[in-house]
Structure 1
Amino acid sequence: MGTDPTRLSASSIARRVREGTLSPVDVADAYLERIHDRGDRTNAFVTVTDELARESAADAAAAIEAGEPLGPLHGVPVAIKDLDDVAGVRTTSGSLLYEDHVADADSPFVERLREAGAVVVGKTNTPEFGLGTTTDNRVAGRTSTPFDPERVSGGSSGGAAAALADHLVPLAPGSDAGGSIRIPASFCGVYGLKPTYGLVPNVDRPNGFASHTPFTHNGPLARTVEDAALALDVMAGVHPRDPFSVPAADDYRSAVDRRIDDLSVAFSPGLGIYPVEPAVRETVADAVSAFEAAGATVDTVDPAFDHDHEDVLEAYYTMARVRWQSLFDSLEAEGFDPYGDDRDRLRPYLVDLIMDADAPTTREYKRADAVRTDVFDALQDCFADYDLLVSATLATTPFRHGEEPETIDGVEVEPLRGWVLTQPYNLSGHPAASVPAGLVDGLPVGMQVAGPRFDDATVLAASAAVERHRPWHDDYPA
């Protein structure tokens, strides 16, 4: 068959399938074989959908033979995060409560991917209900970064990022309510884009407004920027059942080829408020040179936040607890008893985080809104002067399982999320990506690239420029 399909990007697979030089059946078989051979190394998958994948690949091959129109992802394997539904496949959400739950229908963006010709090969691991910056649960266990199986992959899209970095799949979308695309992208050395809020629909039920608290996004993770842009073109756009969905604003794939010599970049390693480990700071500062090499102007500038990182995190927690507690209301409506008989089936982490935590008062919630406003205004002020704002994605490299950092560069931080620089953009809704910036002691570092709302195309264009000048594809341990 020539080139091993598992070494190809999603875009290359799609091109070769359209040209007739690569069979969708051979592609699916190659990826399924690799998943079964290497999957235990990172534990990226919860479910491998061998039968569905082979049926879909055969259908894709038949469509080619019949001369039918082909979608932009025709024959491309894709893995779906185990929070999102694939019809006829179980969605566990990483919880024993849903261990045997089988979905009736595809989630909206999954439906769009499949209509574009993508072949679902499985479901990727996530912490219980997606609540965590590392990926571990009682259904499937923990997921590791391929760079060191003793270290975390990040969360909550940790399975997706690990699968990509280990070449188990070429495309794996995720979701992001506080960094859940960008955190694992950084820890696994892949590209992850949290789009503008509303660009990729969330159809939450029974609460159709849940994604607002804080802003929750679906978006692509991939090994190349082109692949992420191709997926975003398919996933984006208005959905009649999402009250916050917005139209796609651009042809995102074409943005990858744009020049960026007219762009101005504000570089702020810690966004002016976060401590960052020196080696991470140095690696990101070195990666910023790629923007200058591509002709952009770079200034070192900090956003003018009126609150420190602890204030921002507390505002995030206030809003997130409202969201999390409403999740448990939904569980009760489905017949579960999370505060009683089903309590022991939940991870103690969730019990501490949600059930044993005080519910925010309305006054506390509105105070958090004031902090959120400050974050939004400071970012808007920055984007009034600059096209992009660049920082570290995370303050540290992947740490060992169970060893969350308590200090960063000598500064005490909250161990679960105090090392994360992603939350401001979930409070504001701006697009933000994690771009592989390099390695520290063999472990990956991410650079966060953010832009004005609805200008996802510029974030993609800038990310692609970094990729051209500092390609990261040879870094993967696979």
Structure 2
Amino acid sequence: MTNADIWQLSATELTKLTRTGDLSAEAAVQASIDRMKAVNPSLNAVVVDLSGEALERARALDKARESGAASGPLHGVPVTIKINIDQKGHATSNGVTALKDLIAPADAPVVENLHRAGAVVIGRTNTPEFSFRADTDNPLHGRTYNPWGRHISPGGSSGGAGSAVMGGIGALAHGNDIGGSLRFPAAANGAVTVKPGLGRVPAWNPSQTAERGLLAQLMSVQGLITRSAEDLHLSMPSLIAADPRDPFHVPMPWRGEALEGLIKVAFTKNTHGYDLHPEVEAALDFARDALTDAGYHVEEVEPPNVFDAGRTGYRALMGEIYALMKGDVDAAGSQTVRDIFTVYFQEFPPFSGDELLQMMAKRTHYARQWSLFMEDYPLVLSPFLPQPFFAPDRDTEGAEGVHEVLGCAVYSYAMNFLGLPAASVPARLAQLPKGAQPVNIQIAARRWREDLAVDACAAIEARAGHMCLPLWAKMAADGE
């Protein structure tokens, strides 16, 4: 098996070989490193190359397996870590020049969990300043590019992660999501992800000197971006392992109890006043048909008002950010990100004072509505964005740009405010005037039932295929 064959293997395929010794962890890691060196110069997805220590770790894993030690479920799987999460000995820069020397004293829980499972970190991926854009560019590490072409943003804030994994750099990519930062890059690059629900994945940065705001704690989650739903089922059980440093972690198994009868899926095309692009509508219809043929009961029905919940939640988050984070953005951010935040505050007028407290309390009202609805409909199939993914720097183009990038993404940040799982999977490869690009849809699930959302992704993927395959063919044809 050549390096060209190995780097294309999914994490599931890799572990079938590495755990038996048919393929060494070193060979698996070396193949991904070679792929990284070949394509990363044009993508700038990985901004900290950890090849040396990755190979050392891979060799140590091989020696341990040969000596009879049990192999972890992710033995030898090459992964990347986003630069806003602590990895011992490396800077948690968060895309901010002023933080370029903030060296992590210890690993964050997600890094520890991946290491414990046998994964090997080959690099750290790019994020926008403060991890608070749906695009990925910063003065410290520069712009990340989408492997489908420079006509599409790579998404954000886990844009480096999405670009890396779809470009073939590692089989798994760590990311996080406070308003869509796993799902935006998945949608931009044609990857698969699930934003876990509240409390599912332990989170904490040992380098932090103060606790995050309450809404940031309630809305932000850690996760993985992959090339297949199958790889989420393989890897997420390791990621959700408990860690006492997160006192609000929910220690539940990945797989919940099987549901009786056909699983009912609420299907909506409602974009709440935003224009629904024909390619997005076609992707939704494709996903509906795939789920129906796979044995789901798909019914066109409106879930509780996602627009009201989403806009309320994001205005509340902006209130907290204005109070707790604006000073840091003004002091350490570039003019570009300061200008974007100014427009954020116009698009989502921040709640403050008593009204902020009231809207934070109202979160339970919205969550209760959705919990009751999901007693009947455990899954909700909806758009993620109403339009195909936007161009790079669209959010720098004033109010209209921010509105297109983030204002219309109510299905995204509503799920963060509600604390519900939400998966993203490609359902169509659109042929648009500027070139081909994937179109993802979203599947929300009952609280703590990420597994149901990923199962539905797998059913759609079984018909749509893995989007990485036409992408890699395109990259090869383009000489990448």
**TM-based fold match above 0.5:** yes
Does the residue aligned with 2:428 lie in a helix, a strand or coil?
Answer: strand
Mapped contact 2:135–2:157 kept (Cα < 8 A): yes
- Are 1:319 and 2:313 matched, yes or no? no
- Are 1:267 and 2:267 matched, yes or no? yes
CA distance in 2, matches of 1:359, 1:200: 28
Match of 2:386 among 388, 391, 395: 395
Which structure 1 residue ranges, 5 or more long, are not aligned?
332-337
Aligned partner letter, 2:277: E
Aligned partner letter, 2:54: A
Aligned partner letter, 1:287: A
- Are 1:54 and 2:43 matched, yes or no? no
- Report the equivalent of 1:210: 213
- Are 1:248 and 2:252 matched, yes or no? yes
- Report the equivalent of 2:367: 376
Mapped contact 1:325–1:354 kept (Cα < 8 A): no
Does the residue aligned with 1:196 lie in a helix, a strand or coil?
Answer: coil
Aligned partner letter, 1:164: V
- Report the equivalent of 1:465: 459
- Report the equivalent of 1:287: 287
Shift of 1:127: 0.8
- Are 1:113 and 2:114 matched, yes or no? yes
Judged with a 3 Å threshold, the aligned counterparts in structure 2 of structure 1 residues 413 and 327 are, in CA distance, closer, same or farther, namely closer
CA distance in 1, matches of 2:259, 2:350: 49
CA distance in 2, matches of 1:419, 1:450: 17
- Report the equivalent of 1:423: 413
Mapped contact 1:261–1:296 kept (Cα < 8 A): no
- Are 1:453 and 2:456 matched, yes or no? no
CA distance in 1, matches of 2:322, 2:119: 32
Alignment of 1:30-41 (within 5 A): 30-41=31-42
Does the residue aligned with 1:162 lie in a helix, a strand or coil?
Answer: helix
Aligned partner letter, 1:297: H
Task: Give the aligned length.
Answer: 461
Identity among equivalent positions (%) equals: 31
- Report the equivalent of 1:475: 470
CA distance in 2, matches of 1:245, 1:275: 39
Does the residue aligned with 1:172 lie in a helix, a strand or coil?
Answer: strand
TM-score computed with the length of structure 2 as normaliser: 0.88
Aligned partner letter, 2:101: D
Aligned partner letter, 2:238: V
- Are 1:352 and 2:355 matched, yes or no? no
Shift of 1:450: 0.9
CA distance in 2, matches of 1:167, 1:343: 31
Shift of 1:74: 0.8
Does the residue aligned with 2:442 lie in a helix, a strand or coil?
Answer: strand
CA distance in 1, matches of 2:322, 2:178: 11
Judged with a 3 Å threshold, the aligned counterparts in structure 2 of structure 1 residues 127 and 93 are, in CA distance, closer, same or farther, namely same
Judged with a 3 Å threshold, the aligned counterparts in structure 2 of structure 1 residues 394 and 371 are, in CA distance, closer, same or farther, namely farther
Shift of 1:312: 3.2
Alignment of 1:96-175 (within 5 A): 96-175=97-176
Shift of 1:272: 5.3
CA distance in 2, matches of 1:129, 1:380: 32
Which range moved further: 413-422 or 241-250?
A: 413-422
Shift of 1:117: 0.8
CA distance in 2, matches of 1:406, 1:385: 42
The RMSD of aligned alpha carbons is 2.9
Deviations 1:370-394 (A, max 9, x none): 6634532442232122121011112
- Report the equivalent of 2:478: none
Mapped contact 2:395–2:402 kept (Cα < 8 A): no
Which structure 2 residue ranges, 5 or more long, are not aligned?
476-480
TM-score computed with the length of structure 1 as normaliser: 0.88
Shift of 1:279: 2.0
Shift of 1:4: 1.6
CA distance in 2, matches of 1:437, 1:405: 29
Deviations 1:219-256 (A, max 9, x none): 1110011211222100103322223210123348xx9x
CA distance in 2, matches of 1:397, 1:129: 25
Deviations 1:196-224 (A, max 9, x none): 11110122544446364351111111001
Judged with a 3 Å threshold, the aligned counterparts in structure 2 of structure 1 residues 273 and 261 are, in CA distance, closer, same or farther, namely farther
Aligned partner letter, 1:319: L
Judged with a 3 Å threshold, the aligned counterparts in structure 2 of structure 1 residues 422 and 359 are, in CA distance, closer, same or farther, namely closer
- Report the equivalent of 1:227: 231
Shift of 1:415: 3.6
Mapped contact 2:45–2:159 kept (Cα < 8 A): yes
Mapped contact 1:189–1:445 kept (Cα < 8 A): yes
Aligned partner letter, 1:136: D
CA distance in 1, matches of 2:85, 2:239: 13
Mapped contact 2:126–2:160 kept (Cα < 8 A): yes
More helix by share: 2
Mapped contact 2:330–2:338 kept (Cα < 8 A): no
Does the residue aligned with 1:448 lie in a helix, a strand or coil?
Answer: strand
